[in-house]
Chain A
Amino acid sequence: MRTTLLEATDLRFSWGERPVLDGVDLAVSSGEVVALLGRNGAGKTTLLRMLNGLLSPDGGTVLVGGDSLETMGLIERAKRTAYVPQSITSAFPMRVIDVVLLGRRPHVTWRLSDRDVDIASNTLSLLGLSEFAFRQFTQLSGGERQQVILAKALAQEARLLLLDEPTSDLDLNNQIGVMKRIRRVVDDDENRGAVIVMHDLNVAASFADRVVLLHEGKVEAVGSPREVLTEENLAKVFMVDCTVDVAPTDGRLRIHVHDEVESFPPNDGHEGD
């Protein structure tokens, strides 16, 4: 049975005078992968950090599993949400297995049990990273590191995954591979759900159940990829001229971008009169 994992209502936030989020609502159910799309600076990362409690909103509420983040301790937050930042910089090299084991931190205080080690090891194997287990995290490529941090987040066994561009440093093959694994994690465990910040519209269309389009601090559109990723919405939000069609072979949505557009709606020459 589907349950509501996340309910964010009327989130508002500004950096100094600059408003970033202005009344954003977002709900995520278990079994659901939600893609968060928008231009650079649209507030996607800010929103994601707010859903994890890393940033406190100026207004609005975030409920995770029915409880407010505001009154929740850090350990409880980490048991309910797992966050993968865009990138992390490490001051000290640590083995990949040790990094993944950090995902067990909310569940243990001092000694790891054999079960914790098993969970970390299984997560590595799920992401096809077993061969990296004893390599130094800092010696991996950006894409490999990203996958290790994803493994750490999965080992955390939180029901809600919050992923900030988890495929940004990956090659095409790995992008598809990682998205398939995230999809599988959510499909296999009906209690889990994910919010993923992405830039690739085609990847979002292929893997997300729902798409949230952020524009100028507000939700411009929300719904299934077909409902949201329309030529008009994309022209307005991303300022691009594109066509959207459906692949005849597998019925997937395809977005073809042709060019940037100068303004939206198209300038008729009378603006500013």
Chain B
Amino acid sequence: MEGVAKAYLDGQRQRTFFLLMASLMTALGAVLAMGFGSSDDLSMRTTLGILFGFQSPEGLQREILINLRLPRVLIALAGGAALAMAGTMMQGVLGNPLVSPLTLGVASGAGLGAALAIVLDVAIFGAPELAILGNAFIFAMLVVAIIIKLGDMSNVTSESYILVGIAITFIAGAVVQTMQYFATDAQISQLTHWSFGSLSRPDLQQASLIGLFVLALLPSGLRAAWDLNTLAVGGDDFAASTGVDPRSTRRSILILSATLTAVVIAFTGIIGFLGLVAPHIARILVGNDYRVLIPTSAVMGAAVLLVADTIGRTLFAPVVLPVGVMLSVLGGPFFLYLLLMRRQSA
């Protein structure tokens, strides 16, 4: 085999190895994250003892581990992976590195749904505790429906999607603001709290469901990697002359990404920064080949959300800082550092 081919295949092996190591480290991080917390009954040592079967948990310990920390860690992994994957794919398919899962207005839709449930007591779902979640989900999916409808129209371009997303964001924002104007202080506080984004809301069942959902959708993202590569490198004509239908690829990838985002955000509230920063960290680490980039992004998203949440709930324990805030506080400067370093080395 010739030099270039051999070097290429060696490089691919290295990337796969890196991905495996990153996944293992994230899994290890998830185990350790289970040991962090404010409970005196459950130190890191005790937690690890219980997790690895050296010690049997008592009633409260089991309660904290199974019903509080496990769903939190699960939603950090699944939600982080989903948002990062959605961001990566959307950037590729819209040919724009500034795009994040929030660009299409899915989160604004969710926010509007949540606001309706909180302020007007308008609930599409029945049970009060599910009303906010259900409404947020339904309104986020309404935005997905608009995206599907848009994809059916002729002459739709990347810009159309972005502009429609911006319009949805403004409209939803205006309605929410109007409702806030008439809302009580308690309602405003509840709405603000929702919009912070937090991993404490989903219970174990919900977290497992989201996890399964993300796992089920991961292969369709990976299957689209080739098509994303052609679109990201050369745009529509280049893709079409390489055997890829740019319009249908864009449509299906955006529906996939928006659905992933809707499912996560309905349960967690708005987690904005992750879908932008995790894809770029992955791009810096493994380059822009989507075959490697998508799984790496998913792992980075999971790791970053896990770390941010763990710091957020231990830094000022027992006060738990919302993960959305933590992400911006920690991730912002880190992201800036990465970008500036890269500019310097380029």
Contacts and interface: CB of A to CB of B under 8 A. Distances in A.
Q: Do A and B come from one complex?
A: yes
Interface of A: 49, 52-54, 74-75, 77-79, 81-83, 85, 88-95, 97-99, 102-103, 105-106, 108-110, 114, 117-118, 120-122, 124-125, 130, 133-134, 137, 149, 152, 156
A198 B243 CA distance: 25
Given A74-B245, A82-B241, A114-B5, A92 B288 contact: yes
Interface in B219-271: 223, 226, 229-230, 232-235, 237-238, 240-245
Q: Looking at chain B's contact residues, is the secondary structure mostly helix, strand, loop, or mixed?
A: helix
B2 interface: yes
A88 B288 contact: no
Interface residues of B, number: 34
Contacts of B226: 102, 105, 108-110
B309 to A, nearest CB: 29
B238 A105 contact: no
Contacts of A114: 1, 5, 9
Nearest to A94: B288
Contacts of B235: 88-89, 91
A137 B233 contact: yes
B96 to A, nearest CB: 6
A126 B232 CA distance: 26
Interface string B1-13: 1111101110100
B204 to A, nearest CB: 35
A117 B242 contact: no
B332 interface: no
B201 interface: no
B283 interface: yes
B232 A90 contact: yes
Contact of A124 (B4, B9, B92, B230): B4
A94 B241 contact: no
Nearest to B283: A92
B95 interface: yes
Given A92-B288, A117-B9, A118-B1, 16 more contacts: A53-B240, A54-B241, A74-B244, A78-B242, A81-B241, A82-B241, A89-B234, A91-B232, A92-B91, A94-B288, A94-B289, A98-B229, A105-B244, A108-B226, A122-B2, A134-B7
B233 A94 contact: yes
A34 to B, nearest CB: 18
Contact of A94 (B8, B97, B232): B232
Nearest to B5: A121
Interface in B178-206: none
Contact of B8 (A52, A88, A97, A137): A97
B333 interface: no
Nearest to A111: B291
Nearest to A152: B242
B128 interface: no
B49 interface: no
Given A91-B96, A117-B8, A77 B243 contact: yes
Query: Of residues B1, B91, B241, which shows the largest number of chain A Cβ atoms within 10 Å of its Cβ?
Result: B241
A125 B2 contact: yes
B230 A105 contact: yes
A2 B145 CA distance: 53
B221 to A, nearest CB: 13
Contacts of A125: 2, 4
Contact of A90 (B4, B234, B241): B234
A21 to B, nearest CB: 18
Query: Of residues A92, A102, A114, which shows the largest number of chain B Cβ atoms within 10 Å of its Cβ?
Result: A92
Contacts of A75: 243
Nearest to A158: B241
A87 B234 CA distance: 9
Given A78-B243, A91-B97, A110 B2 contact: no
A27 to B, nearest CB: 21
Nearest to A137: B233
B241 A102 contact: no
Contacts of A81: 241
Contacts of A109: 226
A58 B234 CA distance: 26
Instruction: Enumerate the 8 nearest inter-chain pairs by beta-carbon distance, A residue then B residue, closest first.
Output: A78-B243, A83-B241, A106-B243, A91-B95, A121-B5, A121-B4, A88-B234, A75-B243
A130 B242 contact: no
A102 B287 CA distance: 15
Query: Of residues B2, B3, B97, which shows the largest number of chain A Cβ atoms within 10 Å of its Cβ?
Result: B2
Nearest to A96: B4
Contacts of A79: 243
A137 B58 CA distance: 59
B276 to A, nearest CB: 14
Nearest to B226: A105
Contacts of B223: 110
B72 to A, nearest CB: 34
Contacts of A53: 240
A95 B287 contact: yes
B242 A54 contact: no
A125 B244 CA distance: 26
